[in-house]
Structure 1
Amino acid sequence: MDASLLTLLGLGPDEDAVYRLLVDRPDSEPAAFAGPLSDHAVASALDALVERGPASADRPDVDGPFRYRAASPVLALGPLLEARRSALHRVESLVGDLSERHRSAQAHASGAPVEVLSGPAAIRRRLLTMQRQARSEVCTLVPARHAPAVLTFADNHEEADSD
């Protein structure tokens, strides 16, 4: 399991590590997390988790230490996941808008409604990108007077992976 995935939801690395431990060890005291993190790092992570909601703390005995419990991952992390998902959808829309603006600017600059690529390296990059994004196949035309030396079979990892 990737130890940093929860950082993609906005948790810090220490919060990620402590939350994962809390999931497996409900009603734990901070001392139960002794190990790779310092006492200060554990305390800071627990405070942040309680403040943000993925954990709760209570003191069963007035003079005793706080005990911590992880909130349900679906309830605690679900809203963070949905916020990131929403942000990614906005970025995806922006990429689409930028792509359309780029295509339009290229068409006006070249006088043709096509993307103009210069040189074998640019053509190779575009073909590989098209192969990665294709759902079924990529067809190309190579004029008879030109040798198709842009992308050799040995360099075409996407083609080999799709078999």
Structure 2
Amino acid sequence: MLAALGLGPAEEEIYRLLVARGRATVHELAADGGRPESEVREILTAMAGRGLVVPQAIEGAATLFAAAPPAVALGGELRRRRDELSAAEHAVLALAEQHRTGAEGGAVEVISEIDAVRHRFRQLQESARYEVRSMMVPELSVVPSSANAAERAGVRRGVQYRTIVHREALTEPGMVAQALADLAAGQRIGVADAVPVKLIIADRELAMLPLYRGRNTAAASVLVHAGGLLEALVAYFELAWEQAYPLSPHTTGDGLAEQRPDAIDEFDARMLALVLAGLTDQAVGARLGVSRRTVQRRIGELMARAGAESRIQLGWHAARKGWA
């Protein structure tokens, strides 16, 4: 644990023993740690030179060693490492900006070799600090969902994942179990009848999508850097997310349930289909065994739910929401 501050495993073990004991001799530390006294003495001498332990010679007795206060002994090194990391972070940000705007940078970067694509895919997720948006198509082959270790690491460090899954992808072996595990880990998943392109976006900084149209399973990809194009991809994802149906585990069993808050009942669906087919309200009522006024009232309620001001607008909303 203290290796980041420059302590080796043996040094950390002896330092911890001293912190627990308060003071100890070479003989006592060797016995506690199961190490030869010569090795313990050599380690203590080195640590004393770095200010980590303090020898306390007592006349007529073996030398006692005490641990220097951790806040003093390790605090300075901790601050120095933090300063180095902060400086490195600023350097990386400056280099990223230079790469984006320089002669060899730009808005997009084309990657065709499969190992390079996998490497960039992992880096993109590792760079995410807040959120990863993704769209998943069937037959993923470059980085299968089960092999995406960077995703699981991102979730563990608190990155929010939102994924839109093509409905057909859920029929592939193991995908339902994978989705259930992802939901249990805190991810949010929506399902859509059509996902035209596989896509992944890290924060509002980077995105990756296929290079060629209609070749979602091919390795060749485009890496999109921050800018107008990336903002358009973010907006596209958000529109698709609004129309996707959120997935959740079934309350019983091991399957998935779709949440459809805008769904209408079977009677309204049949009635709407007849109205949109061009039948009069009187004819629709006769088909369904209700009065013309009932048809008009139910259509009015659907228009209010959809925020439509005309039946033409209701037809558009019905197609968008899957009502008919």
Q: TM-score range by the shorter chain?
A: 0.7 to 0.9
- Of 96, 100, 113 in structure 1, the residue corresponding to residue 97 of structure 2 is 100
Report the Cα distance in structure 1 between the residues aligned to 2:104 and 2:73, rounded to whole angstroms: 50
1:56-95 equivalences under 5 Å are 56-60=54-58, 62-95=59-92
Deviates more, 1:131-140 or 1:70-79: 131-140
Cα deviation digits, residues 74-105 of structure 1 (max 9, x gap): 22111111111111112222222333333345
1:148-159 equivalences under 5 Å are 150-157=142-149, 158=151
Between structures 1 and 2, the one with greater helix share? 1
Kept in 2: contact 1:124–1:151 (CA 8 A): yes
- Of 15, 20, 34 in structure 2, the residue corresponding to residue 19 of structure 1 is 15
Report the Cα distance in structure 2 between the residues aligned to 1:86 and 1:49, rounded to whole angstroms: 23
| Correspondence for 1:136 | 131
Report the Cα distance in structure 1 between the residues aligned to 2:30 and 2:21, rounded to whole angstroms: 13
Report the Cα distance in structure 1 between the residues aligned to 2:8 and 2:90, rounded to whole angstroms: 28
Deviation at 1:56, TM superposition (A): 1.3
Q: Spell out structure 1 runs of 4+ moving beyond 6 A.
A: none
Deviation at 1:120, TM superposition (A): 4.3
Residue ranges of structure 1 left out of the alignment (5+ in a row): none
User: What amino acid is aligned across from residue 55 of structure 1 in structure 2?
Assistant: V
Report the Cα distance in structure 2 between the residues aligned to 1:22 and 1:66, rounded to whole angstroms: 13
Kept in 2: contact 1:15–1:49 (CA 8 A): yes
- Of 112, 115, 119 in structure 1, the residue corresponding to residue 109 of structure 2 is 115
| Correspondence for 1:52 | 50
Q: Residues 156 and 52 (structure 1 numbering): CA distance in 2 closer, same or farther, change over 3 Å?
A: closer
Between structures 1 and 2, the one with greater strand share? 2
Kept in 2: contact 1:131–1:138 (CA 8 A): no
Report the Cα distance in structure 1 between the residues aligned to 2:113 and 2:87, rounded to whole angstroms: 34
Q: Residues 52 and 115 (structure 1 numbering): CA distance in 2 closer, same or farther, change over 3 Å?
A: same
Report the Cα distance in structure 2 between the residues aligned to 1:11 and 1:156, rounded to whole angstroms: 33
Deviation at 1:48, TM superposition (A): 2.1
Deviation at 1:70, TM superposition (A): 1.1
Aligned length: 151
Deviation at 1:152, TM superposition (A): 3.5
SS of 1:34's equivalent in the other structure is helix
User: What amino acid is aligned across from residue 73 of structure 1 in structure 2?
Assistant: P
Deviates more, 1:81-90 or 1:47-56: 47-56
Higher relative contact order (CA 8 A, sep 6+): 1
SS of 1:65's equivalent in the other structure is coil
Report the Cα distance in structure 2 between the residues aligned to 1:34 and 1:141, rounded to whole angstroms: 57
Cα deviation digits, residues 40-97 of structure 1 (max 9, x gap): 221122122222222212123x222111111221221111111111111122222223
SS of 2:108's equivalent in the other structure is coil
Report the Cα distance in structure 1 between the residues aligned to 2:109 and 2:38, rounded to whole angstroms: 56
User: What amino acid is aligned across from residue 131 of structure 2 in structure 1?
Assistant: S
**Percent identity of the aligned residues?**
32
Residue ranges of structure 2 left out of the alignment (5+ in a row): 152-160, 162-181, 188-324
Cα deviation digits, residues 94-152 of structure 1 (max 9, x gap): 222333333345xx347x5322222444334333332343322334699xxxx865443
Task: Name the TM-score, length of structure 1 as normaliser.
Answer: 0.73
Q: Residues 154 and 68 (structure 1 numbering): CA distance in 2 closer, same or farther, change over 3 Å?
A: closer
